[in-house]
Structure formats: C-alpha cells, structure tokens
Chain A
Amino acid sequence: MATTVTTESTAVFDKKTWMGGVEPMNASYGKLMMWFFLISDTFTFSALLVTYGLIRFSFPAYDQAIHGAFQFSTMYWPIPDKVYNAFPFVHGMDLPLVFVGLMTFILIFSSVTMVLAVEAGHRMDRPTVEKYMLWTILGGFAFLGCQAWEWTHFIHGTEEGMQVKDVVDGGVRTVFGANLVENQYGPPAFADLFFFITGFHGTHVFSGVLLNILIFYRTATGLYQRRGHYEMVEKVGLYWHFVDLVWVFVFTFFYLV
C-alpha cells in the first residue's frame, strides 16, 4: 500500500489519522490483516481447547487409590503418557511422549528457519531466503509425516486393545484402536477431541506448507527482488509461527497436562 502512495507532500493530515497513505499502528495493510486473521484463528483453536478442558473435567480423573493399576477404561480420562508411548521402528517399547517431543522440536526448528528467511529478506539476500524457505518446507513435511504416523498408530491401536462390557446383552468384547464412535483408550470423547484438535492443527500445517512453497517459488523466480521488498515472506512467516504457537499449546494441554 505504502509503496504506491507518496506521503511526503501531503502534510495536510495528521499522520495518525486513517486517511490513506499512512499506516495505522506502523504496520502495513497486509501485515495488520494477517494479525487480525490470526486473532480470529486463535479464537477457533481456543474454542477447541476450551471444549477439551470442559469435557475432560466432566469426566473422573484416574486415581490409583480408587482404580488400582492403570489400564485403559471408559470409566475415566486416560493418562496421555500411557496413550502416546510409541515410536516408529521400535515396536513394543514404552517411550512416553518421546515422539510428540520430536514433533515439537521439528516444528520449533522450522519456525527458526522461517525467521532466518525473514531476516535474510530484510537484507535483500535472495539465495539465503531460498535456502531457509526450503528448510522450512522440509520441516513442515517432516511434521506432517510424523502426524500421519501418529494418526495411523492411534487408529490401529495396540495389540491388547481394551475389554468392554456391552450394556445391552452383557457380553464382553475387545475394542482396538480408535474411531469417532469408540476407542480403546478411554471415553469416546477422548478420541473425538484428538481427531478434531490435532486434525485441525494438521490442516493448518498443510496449508502453511503450501503457502511456503508458493513463497519459495516466487522468491526463486525473483518476484520479490524486483518488487524491492520481501514482505510476503514476513506475512506468511507470521502464519507459520502461529501454527508453531498453536502446537505449543496443544502439546501442553493435550499431551502434558
């Protein structure tokens, strides 16, 4: 916006008024709108996490004194350590939260490469922007791959499954893995919230990767160099950091607490 309008000769208006040509809050139109979009997206994710809090606290928590040794049951909310304890290629080992931790580090690292790309953009350093955009895209794909594995494992479940007693005829059967109706880990709402929250976040990562690829392509073809600034890298960077930020909250409230 500011690049198309000259403000030097128009001293008639106070700089703080929103008459065009000046940037409210010292942020360009695109950046400001990205911030407001992110605030609205914050509300969506908050709604999902608040729902998680509400439903979780409406179920009994596991208590060793009451329930004995931990096993999956629809009577209480499962402990995350016991659900997310698998790692690719090491079958049968109890590695609580290690894989989720790896995913967290992948996303934080790709956030760092993104901010390095933005920094290079400020200096009009095109090859460096290209390099770090590629690293960011790679991090995004790595995270999506991890999530695909995580979902597959969650859906297929463990070999033991969970014994459930049928309310209607009293027969006992075993539930394996998870779907939206029932799951072997705990109350049905547990798996529903897992699919909705991590799925909604994964969709954001996916669209973030697509945007990053677009930005990389436009950097590589020299569009931003000709334009004279790399502000698009910054705007998409804001979105990418936001996706990382959401994962920080999902990690805490879904996997740790």
Chain B
Amino acid sequence: MATHSHHDNHAGTEVAPAQTGQIWKVFWILAAVTTLEFIIAFFIKPGYFKTSLFVGLTVVKAFYIVGEFMHLKHEAKGLIWAILLPCLFVVWLLLALMMEGGSIFMLR
C-alpha cells in the first residue's frame, strides 16, 4: 500500500472515480432511524403503539441494509422473491408462537 501513490481519479490510472454518494445516503438514513428509535425508547409509554413503531422502523432499516448494502433491490426478480417469500413464513411463525406464549401465561 505504501508503494502506491494513489490519488483518487487524478493520477491518470484506469481506476474509475468512486461512486459512494448512495452508500453514504443509506448510512445517514440508518443512523437517523437508530437515533429515532432511541428517542422513542425514552419518550413513549410501553404498549402496542410503541412496539409497532419499533417493528416498523426495524423493517425500514432491514429494507435499506438488504436492498442497498446487500444489493438485493437490484438483483433479478426471481432472486428477490426466493429470499423474501421464506421470510414471510417466519413472520407467521413468530406471530403464532407469541400468541401461544400468551396462552401459556393464561394457563399458569
């Protein structure tokens, strides 16, 4: 690394200029959403509204990480569905077992 004298795109090499604008934009979105989650954690009373806000914001973060960082948004449609559909079954399992937990609580 030390032997290279690399100066972005002015050195006349065949290296193309960096295209990092979108990456940093996504970073700021993720940082802002995480900060918002912090504010919500302290200023909104516990309840269904708070929980659904958290879940909603988590899905937003997941969308940007998977869609932009993992590039899934720009892949072929078949691949997108191959990844998304199995996850929907997980959501169903989560809801079913949370209700199951509630009924275990009632039986105790």
Contacts and interface: CB of A to CB of B under 8 A. Distances in A.
Given A241-B69, A256-B41, A123 B16 contact: yes
Given A25-B76, A108-B34, A252-B58, 15 more contacts: A25-B79, A39-B83, A57-B104, A57-B105, A108-B27, A116-B23, A120-B18, A130-B1, A131-B1, A241-B70, A244-B65, A248-B58, A248-B65, A252-B37, A252-B54
B52 to A, nearest CB: 10
Contacts of B14: 124
A116 B65 contact: no
A197 interface: no
Given A27-B76, A97-B38, A108 B23 contact: no
Interface of A: 24-27, 32, 35, 38-39, 42-43, 46, 49-51, 53-60, 81, 96-97, 101, 104-105, 108-109, 111-112, 114-116, 119-120, 123-128, 130-131, 220, 237-238, 241-242, 244-245, 248-249, 252, 256-257
Interface string B81-103: 01100110010011001101110
A interface secondary structure, majority: helix
A112 B82 contact: no
Contacts, number: 141
B78 interface: yes
